[in-house]
Amino acid sequence: MTPSAKYADLLLPETSFMERWNIGETWGTASYLILSEKLIEPEFERRSDYDWLREVAAKLGIENEFSQGRDEKAWIEHIWEQTRLAMPDENLPDFATLQKTRQHLFKSAPFIAFEDNIRDPENHPFPTPSGKIEIFSKRLYDMQHPEIPALSHYVPAHEGPEDALAKDFPPPVNYVERKKPRQLNAIR
């Protein structure tokens, strides 16, 4: 048990990746979509998020609206098929094929920031007086506001770690752990 879990009023043990259906994306440079098939039934008292949320919905009297007649696997299949419809250019296989191959190389084009502005600045200017990227802003300079500099540089936050109040009131430490840092919006 983690130190923070000791303070929890309620602990919900999550299933492992072998105990639930899921579709995820690989980490690193390769962009594979991977089907995680449920291989074993959940051990001990672990339950999938879908299962316990469905039970909460049942207690609220909205189980049918929540589940829409689908179990966990049927939802994964439904989400995959909706993703295929939303992304016809990606040539995603049907769910039956995905179950056989268990992976699909997602061939997305590389992201280039401000691509339209760079390739065609005449028709896609930046929202600045010159239509270009501004390193120095004459408008901001004319305002003479110390917290909005005309030339970008670091401005300490009020009540932040550099503020005089921090000696008497140190800022809290916030820690958030993300288990799945790379997910495709299309398959959420």
- 187: pLDDT strictly greater than 60: no
- Could you report how far apart the first and last alpha carbons of the chain are, in Å? 29
pLDDT tens by residue, 28-57: 656 778 888 888 898 888 888 899 899 999
- The residue among 140, 158, 142, 160 whose CA lies nearest residue 150 is 140
Is 128:150 a contact under the CB 8 Å cutoff?
Answer: no
Exposed e or buried b per residue across 103-135, where buried means at least 16 C-beta atoms within 10 angstroms of its C-beta: ebebeeeeeeeeeebeeeeeeeeeeeeeeeebe
pLDDT tens by residue, 58-101: 999 999 999 999 999 999 999 999 988 998 878 888 999 988 88
- Between the CA of residue 158 and those of 142, 150, 161, 166, 171, what are the distances in Å? 23, 19, 9, 10, 11
Predicted TM-score (pTM) of the model is 0.54
Q: What does the pLDDT read at residue 188?
A: 47
Is 33:23 a contact under the CB 8 Å cutoff?
Answer: yes
> Of residues 162 and 94, which shows the higher confidence score?
94
Which residues have CB under 8 Å from 81's CB, separation 6+?
94, 95
Domain borders along the chain are 4-109, 128-171
